[in-house]
Structure 1
């Protein structure tokens, strides 16, 4: 059953505007740290000792006032920093205007990135910085956007609460009880406003044409995606580490999947 466009275009536009806030207006600078430096001919053991005291993993290396590379604390031994410094790889360098969302995907291939301000490298971002509040806000925002889109689509696709056919009696009762509670508070809502993310998941996955429109290949893959998404949301909501059980690569893949489904949601107007 294709979704017929009614009065949803304005909603899609407003969601896209909200999404652009995360994609364009919050940049890598919001999580970057200033890059302290040493000199090419500094004693490596002395620099390592200084890095341990300051808890630095990375330190920029200057030559004639220009930052030409960096040293990694655990690699420093005897000799001078020149013996250990790494030149910057092009994949490690990003503009200060790089969006926070794009920054996440860059970390799929890098352990750290360096920020170019004009033609000078001034800041660094490591995996540890991905736990900072701007990243957490970004990820929670993306998950919330997906929920908003699913709510909109479910309302359009299933008139008169016909989505109930995809939920078991216990979930329907929970939704109706919550609806009654919120109505008693004089909230102007409808029953679908009380659907939880697990309900939206089941409705979408059990309606094959809708699932396919959203680019979800199978129910099994869809259930796994939503399970991981809910785990991530719970970690964010309870101030836990973003990837307490998964590697960062799995987290990046989950975010990429979320982005893909959001794009498909936006096509449904």
Structure 2
């Protein structure tokens, strides 16, 4: 397993949701409503004799914490991400009891941005390796302007004694163009359409640019990002024996 695969495995399986979680604040039954207002909380966890209950803004009573809203504190962050995005928050257990909480506001923390950028960077690396191995005439899939831009970047990097090839200088949009042509996107699944592939690659590119430039607000709602992660996983699951992934 090389560095690229190890990086992908780390972000997918070993960066825990604990990295963004907050310790759970437990309120008393007689004060939780005022405490929620004081702290601007959307959710409160309340201790009663029977155990912990929760209350969300808009509810009319305390309810039990749903089993499907509780995850291990050590669960992979990107595995829990879709649940946080969809349900607004999840509860996290450690030592057999709920001890932490992660909300949508926590998704804007550095570990999430690093994980997303890492996923996209690995996608770029793998697509470039696929171009080298599977598309020897990839230049024909790019416009004259895009090919000239890649070659210009290549010459600049070579002048700095960097050991690279022209494929290394392709941008994510260029890679999307290569696999969009000649139905090469079918490598990633027979059911994948060209429109879906093009849309996903364009959106992944937007996400990458926003992350690379540390934009305060990402160009997608949190609920939209899991679809991009699923697309990246689809590409990564392709039966392609890349030298860089052995």
Q: State TM-score, norm by structure 2.
A: 0.89
**Alpha carbons of structure 1 residues 15 and 187: separation in structure 2 relative to 1, 3 Å:** closer
Q: Distance in 1 between matches of 2:234 and 2:51?
A: 38
**Alpha carbons of structure 1 residues 141 and 242: separation in structure 2 relative to 1, 3 Å:** farther
Q: Among residues 36, 40, 58, which one is paired with 2:43 in the alignment?
A: 58
1:249: Cα distance to partner? 2.3
Alignment of 1:247-258 (within 5 A): 247-258=221-232
* Structure number with larger C-alpha Rg: 1
Match of 2:25 in 1: 36
**Residues 151 and 192, structure 1, Cα contact 8 Å, conserved in 2:** yes
1:108: Cα distance to partner? 5.5
Q: Distance in 1 between matches of 2:193 and 2:12?
A: 29
Match of 1:155 in 2: 132
Match of 2:53 in 1: 69
SS at match of 2:99: strand
Match of 1:186 in 2: 161
**Residues 70 and 90, structure 2, Cα contact 8 Å, conserved in 1:** yes
The alignment's C-alpha RMSD in Å is: 2.1
Q: State TM-score, norm by structure 1.
A: 0.82
Q: Among residues 243, 250, 260, which one is paired with 2:234 in the alignment?
A: 260
Q: Distance in 1 between matches of 2:221 and 2:158?
A: 42
- Structure 1 residues not aligned, in runs of 5+: 1-9, 77-82
Alignment of 1:121-140 (within 5 A): 121-140=98-117
Match of 2:118 in 1: 141
CA distances 1:201-251 after superposition (whole Å, capped 9, x unpaired): 11111132x32112272222211111111111122122235644x333222
Aligned length: 241
Match of 2:147 in 1: 172
